[in-house]
Structure 1
Amino acid sequence: MMFSFTSFSRCQRLVNNPILTLLRNFHKEPIPVTWEKPEIGWTKLNFDGSCKGRAGKGSIGGIFRNHKAEFVLGYAESIGKTTSTIAELAALRRGLDLVLENGWNDVWLEGDAKTLVDIIVEKRQVRCAEVQRHVSDIISIIPEFDNCIVTHIYREGNRAADKLAQLGHQSQKPQIWRQIPPHQVLQIMHEDAEGKIVFRRR
């Protein structure tokens, strides 16, 4: 049987029908997301970048926790006009600076920008020169640690870092918290430590 262009067009409209797409997505099972503690002796960094508005106002944030999910250090900072990609990379780069300053050697780096995590893990080249500069800088630092893993987590498991990145938008100057976290992340930290499952809709 011949498949005419008219039939093809009708099929395309059916495939691209927004109502059918919504129904398909509605019936997909949600993904359970849980923040995981690092191993004993390891320090885990969750980082995030944020970019808001037409002006592209950027900020960064990150949180370090130990194997008991206890707060070790947090940071937040406004970084001016930028893109979301650069903000994510800047958040990780600032975190790495703090790792070096504190002499931690077994570190777990985790963010919710999957494409960037993949680029760093696979040491891929990218076309944008500014992005490549940040990526190359990060890749050059990682071998300085005894052990380092870089992983992706969905945003639902990166809520503490996201909250700190949001605080960065409100900061007039770079902020660092040691031992005592800002009250805005206390509830999230408690839920993370308890292993709370947050469901992500596909």
Structure 2
Amino acid sequence: MCSLNNWKSATSRSIAHGTAFLAEIKALELGMLHTLQLGYRTIICYSDCAGLVSVLNSGQDISSFWDRDILRRVLDLMASFDNCTVAHVAREKNNTADTLAREAAKSGSASQVWNVPPSFVSTSLFLDAS
């Protein structure tokens, strides 16, 4: 979902309550599950949470993390792809994901799939591409 011309699909869901770190983990999990359902075997995930990117790429022991169960699920999902990269992106270039997350939080929606970009992300797509 890099630009209007490259949009494949997106998904969002309200997580109700939790930390920003938990929201980022859950967003990665949701996105990876959606990508697998679409049949893709190669994925590049971007997160503006540098701490999460570091944990997922470092191979460090996560047994003492509060969110270790979902971290383990995400690590297992990463291993299920032929090629999976998790990379850091500046918050200023993560507007579309942030807009989708805010809309899900505002509406309290269960999982929503966007096969075409919803109109409310047009500005975000432009900002991310510039």
Alignment counterpart, residue 22 of structure 2, candidates 62, 65, 86? 86
Separation of aligned partners in 2, 1:177 and 1:98:
11
Separation of aligned partners in 2, 1:165 and 1:149:
21
Alignment counterpart, residue 176 of structure 1, candidates 97, 113, 120? 113
Residue ranges of structure 2 left out of the alignment (5+ in a row): none
The answer to whether residue 53 in structure 2 is matched with residue 117 in structure 1 is yes
Contact 1:164–1:185 (CA under 8 A) maintained in structure 2: yes
Residue ranges of structure 1 left out of the alignment (5+ in a row): 1-63, 197-202
CA deviations over 1:60-102 (Å, ceiling 9, x no partner): xxxx348x85211122221122222111111111111101111
So what's the TM-score if we normalise by structure 2?
A: 0.87
The answer to whether residue 100 in structure 2 is matched with residue 164 in structure 1 is yes
Contact 2:14–2:104 (CA under 8 A) maintained in structure 1: yes
Which structure: larger Rg? 1
Aligned-partner SS, 1:79:
coil
The answer to whether residue 77 in structure 2 is matched with residue 141 in structure 1 is yes
Contact 1:65–1:73 (CA under 8 A) maintained in structure 2: no
Q: Percent identity?
A: 27
Structure with larger RCO (C-alpha < 8 A, sep 6+) = 2
Alignment counterpart, residue 155 of structure 1, candidates 91, 116, 119? 91
Report the alpha carbon displacement of residue 157 of structure 1 after superposing the two structures with TM.
1.0
So what's the TM-score if we normalise by structure 1?
A: 0.58
CA RMSD of aligned residues (A): 1.8
Residue 95 of structure 1 aligns with an amino acid whose one-letter code is: G
Aligned-partner SS, 1:75:
strand
The answer to whether residue 38 in structure 2 is matched with residue 102 in structure 1 is yes
Paired residues, number:
128
Contact 1:76–1:171 (CA under 8 A) maintained in structure 2: no
Consecutive aligned runs of 4 or more in structure 1 exceeding 6 Å deviation: none
Aligned-partner SS, 1:163:
helix
Q: Which structure carries more strand by proportion?
A: 1
What is the 5 A alignment of 1:30-109?
64-65=1-2, 70-109=6-45
Aligned-partner SS, 2:9:
strand
The aligned counterpart of 1:128 is: 65
Aligned-partner SS, 2:84:
strand
The aligned counterpart of 1:19 is: none
